[in-house]
A and B are shown apart, each in its own frame.
Chain A
């Protein structure tokens, strides 16, 4: 069992590339940061192509059956918005504006720019996402550890079934059940809104259950492996109690593979927020995204896709670097 290679097989080829120079970690980090650029550009290209492949033009009349604008007016408007230029030039302009956070005006909320809406809604989504993530990590680790300690006993079954439900059932379905249970049957929490911390509870739980299930499953599996490892036996043999064995020796090591999950989890929480926010009427970015979908608000759609994409790409990078810091056995 080679140590660094066995944890994550795809790391070894990265290691070959990066250890050529003097500062492996630094070089690896630099390479990863540089990789962000083409990834984001590809995302921008895809979103841009989608925007322009869609039938219809922003110059078409808004209401059905209305008289089209005169050709001169259309020409002037096209020139004003840069729509008369060739596509590749438009793409360069789109990217250079997007880099500065300028995505143009919203089609639906005509008086506001997309940027204003994002500045207003992103912090709310971020708060909801962070709370859900915190709950998912704490809850998932607890469930996973409980399941591994009490393997094949009641706690194991409880946490495994909770985890399976969290993984398998879509969060908008969970949200419906949560509302029925905790707003109607037991009137503890409101059905929606974002005014007070009481409103935050149900959306956070609905959003957290899926990543919580993933973490619980992985923690259980990796704890079961670690508990049987020689160093855990050593810790027990030298007379340590169950609690220090679990928390100081086993969990510390079991946590390492779980860190790799953080990347997909950010994605789960990010895309999950579309549904949870629109069910619980949370005025965040996800809800605006869904509203802009139904309203065909293209600048909004592009901006949200790119924001989420960029955010997730950066978070994945952070997780990758964190992984190397947490586990000194991994060499880049």
Chain B
């Protein structure tokens, strides 16, 4: 595969010459696996690379929010309410005189946490259900696919809002709500993969060698079904971030005073005529984050599965 792409070809050619002479070196040539090829293709995609850099920066901001934020996000200053950006407050202050920049920095933490955390829940629910449904087949499969179909018919965001209204606002509840609704897509995809893979000869081979149910599924089928799952996860992250922002926007997401970008836009847009900065800066943050993840996701998809393009 690597030899087909011009750049990797030139890179490998001196080594390939040695490889012909020395059979020991064959392992070297073989290391250009799907993953290494994928990473190389991803790094060559400039938009995806830019997206990836922004994502890394956002993660660093989220991790080191305590050091980066000039003020605690709850620190109020009632002398300076709704102030436009100034030297003391680079992005201005909000309705309670809190520093907008600090609140945005802590908001990154919520967004990243929800984006990654929700994916963990989704994968933990969706992948086993999809894999079992596809592998066992028969009545189990029929039951599970029917269930998935009904879940699929339910408008996603509507369902999340409904669950949140039941559980109440809060970070853990957002994980639960997004996880409960989000696993459906990934379960469908895993099922389709497993369904196709379980008919392959290498699976028969593994079974013939005496591998049990768990070993066949875990060691032989699932590693080969990984690519679409990874792609689904990279696209699931921005979706989860969007869902959190949307929930917080209408007031059923993150509990105040914890800052969330969606909540800041929701509160700020009521004063958009007088204090534009209240909703514009968090809006930019959401837009940049979403775009970065989408560019990165596109890059990952193209890199791991060129056929999908």
**Residues of A with Cβ closer than 8 Å to B?**
38-39, 42-43, 46-47, 50, 53-54, 164-165, 167-170, 172-173, 175-177, 179-180, 184, 191, 267, 270-271, 274-275, 278-279, 290, 293-294, 296, 301, 305, 308-309, 312-313, 316
Contacts and interface: CB of A to CB of B under 8 A. Distances in A.
Nearest to A272: B157
B238 A180 contact: no
Nearest to A278: B250
Contact of B250 (A50, A164, A270, A294): A294
Nearest to A263: B153
B175 interface: no
Contacts, number: 109
A191 B272 contact: yes
Given A54-B165, A54-B166, A313-B153, 6 more contacts: A164-B291, A165-B291, A169-B287, A173-B287, A293-B165, A296-B165
Contacts of B294: 164, 167-168
A42 B290 contact: no
B250 A316 contact: no
What does DSSP make chain B's interface, helix, strand, loop or mixed?
helix
B93 interface: no
Given A173-B286, A180-B280, A305 B273 contact: no
A169 B286 contact: yes
Given A164-B294, A301-B162, A309-B155, A275 B249 contact: yes
B156 interface: yes
B251 interface: yes
Contacts of B252: 293-294
B250 A275 contact: yes
A176 B149 CA distance: 35
A170 B269 contact: no
B100 to A, nearest CB: 15
B245 A168 contact: no
A170 B241 CA distance: 10
Interface size class of B (residues with CB under 8 A): 35 or more
Interface string B277-309: 001100100110011011100000000000000
B154 interface: yes
A173 B265 contact: yes
Given A164-B291, A274-B250, A301 B155 contact: no
What does DSSP make chain A's interface, helix, strand, loop or mixed?
helix
Contacts of B279: 176
Contacts of A301: 162, 165
9 contacts: A54-B165, A169-B290, A173-B245, A173-B265, A175-B269, A179-B272, A180-B276, A271-B157, A294-B251
Contacts of A309: 153-155, 158
Nearest to A49: B166
Contacts of A47: 162
Interface in B168-218: none
Contacts of A267: 155-156
Contacts of B283: 173, 176-177
A164 B279 CA distance: 22
Nearest to B160: A271
Given A168-B291, A301-B165, A176 B153 contact: no
The 9 closest A-B pairs by CB, nearest first: A168-B294, A271-B157, A168-B290, A173-B283, A50-B166, A176-B283, A169-B287, A42-B150, A39-B153
Contacts of B249: 172, 275
Contact of B242 (A39, A53, A170, A313): A170
